[in-house]
Amino acid sequence: MARGKPGNSLEKWEIALVKAMLARGNYNNQDILAYFTRPTRSVNHRVISEIRDETKHKAIKPASEAALDDFLTTWPDVDPQTGLSIRGDELLIKAQEAMIAAVHTFNGAGLTFRAELFIVTCVIAWTYLLHAWFGREGIDYRYKDANGAVKTTKQGAEQYWELGKCLRHERCPIGKAATQNLEFLLELRHEIEHRSTNRIDDAVSAKLQACCINFNDAIKSLFGAQYGLERRLPIALQFVTFGSDQRALLKRASALPPHIEAMMDEFHAHLSAEEQADPAFAHRVAFIPKVGGRASSSDEAVQFVKPDSAEGIEITRVLLKDVDKRRYTPTQIVEIMQAEGFPKFKLQNHTELWQALEARAPAKGFGKAGLYRNTWEWFDSWVARVRAHCQENAARYA
């Protein structure tokens, strides 16, 4: 697990306790160090020596005898689920609990407007997670005025960065697609805050799923695999299956309000086809009933298969029978471009373009392997990308 050295230091309340322990006189440096080192933070023994010698932190006063007794009596005060320090790792624990609450809320029975509740709570989770990481890395995430003084509220509380500010920081550890996912949810939240809306759960479910997976990946990569939420959030059971007629009724019943639809269209318009297809931006999963050959395997409600395996290809073939994207051969795409006024665009140009863009990468969603060996079929998103290429190079192909 990677640790940022600037964050491996004691906080003021901990320094006060160390001074109280030193004043009590029956603790050596190694004994004291054991109370303040934890899995998320490794403190060098030099820190205790600097406090003892008063070469650092001289201005901080020792904690009271009562405060020290309370600390020693409750130590180790840890979260039983994760082993995190309740006080020292407060932000990380809050981040976990906020995301768990967001998922439980969305999956809760009897709720109608679940997406709005999820978005508000998951924004809190991501904000706490990034604050925890910034703090560990020694990055001050408080707002300051022109003179460098920390800004405070009317009640005197320090003002901390909101999620949008965290995402824009040059050292933000969140990848581009995950950041775009959060920016989409933030913009959607602003629309929800300022205008009433009807049910949007189905329309944004792929974004919400991606948000959950991105959070779990982030907390594990930034702090350690032991803090993942897989074991604390089991798979949700469903009471219904949907036929095509039911899906059509649901789609008509859940039409988006105009301002939400306009916001989503505008946001997507600024993303490339590759960015929209990235599973970290919107995660889509297809479920099909499965009857296993063995009793042990047939009891698994969800199974993952490789897309290029025999089973994956068969699943794709079955799914395409139900909801089939229009597919194009390379020759058809070339013919379309030529008909649109680019007669010099040839099959070789098409081949060079998809190779240069690595357009066959599954994550980009531009197409899929054909039903026959060594064939490839392209989707509308790739036709649009080729059209944009031709328009950008009109002098070459017109």
Least confident of 39-43, 238-242, 316-320: 238-242
What's the pLDDT band for 132 if we cut at 50, 70, 90? very high
**Longest pairwise C-alpha distance within the chain:** 88
What's the pLDDT band for 190 if we cut at 50, 70, 90? confident
Q: Residue ranges of the domains in the chain?
A: 5-74, 90-266, 330-397
Q: What's the 3-state SS for the chain?
A: CCCCHHHCCCCHHHHHHHHHHHHHCCCCHHHHHHHHCECCECCCHHHHHHHHHCCCCCCCCCCCHHHHHHHHHHCCCECCCCCCECCCCHHHHHHHHHHHHHHHHHHCCCCCCHHHHHHHHHHHHHHHHHHHHHHHCCCCCECECCCCCECECCCCCECECCHHHHHHCCCCCCCHHHHHHHHHHHHHHHHHHHCCCCCCHHHHHHHHHHHHHHHHHHHHHHHCHHHCCCCCCCCCCCCCCCCHHHHHHHHHHCCCCHHHHHHHHHHHHCCCHHHHHCCCCCCCCCCCCCCCCCHHHHCCCCCCCCCCCHHHHHHHHHHHHHCCCCCECHHHHHHHHHHCCCCCCCHHHHHHHHHHCCCCCHHHCCEEECCCCCCEEECHHHHHHHHHHHHHCHHHHC
Q: What is the dihedral of CA 262, 268, 269, 275, to 10 degrees?
A: 180
pLDDT(9) > 70: yes
CA-CA distance, 32 to 27, in Å (whole number)? 6
CA-CA distance, 46 to 216, in Å (whole number)? 34
CA-CA distance, 317 to 284, in Å (whole number)? 17
Tell me the per-residue pLDDT of 55-99, one tens digit each, with 9 for 90 and over.
Answer: 888 889 999 999 988 888 888 777 766 667 777 788 998 999 999
In this prediction, what percent of the chain has a pLDDT beyond 70?
A: 74
Q: What is the mean pLDDT of residues 326-331?
A: 86
Tell me the per-residue pLDDT of 191-236, one tens digit each, with 9 for 90 and over.
Answer: 776 555 556 766 788 888 889 889 999 998 888 888 888 777 765 5
Query: What's the pTM value of the predicted model, to 2 decimals?
Result: 0.58
pLDDT(129) > 60: yes
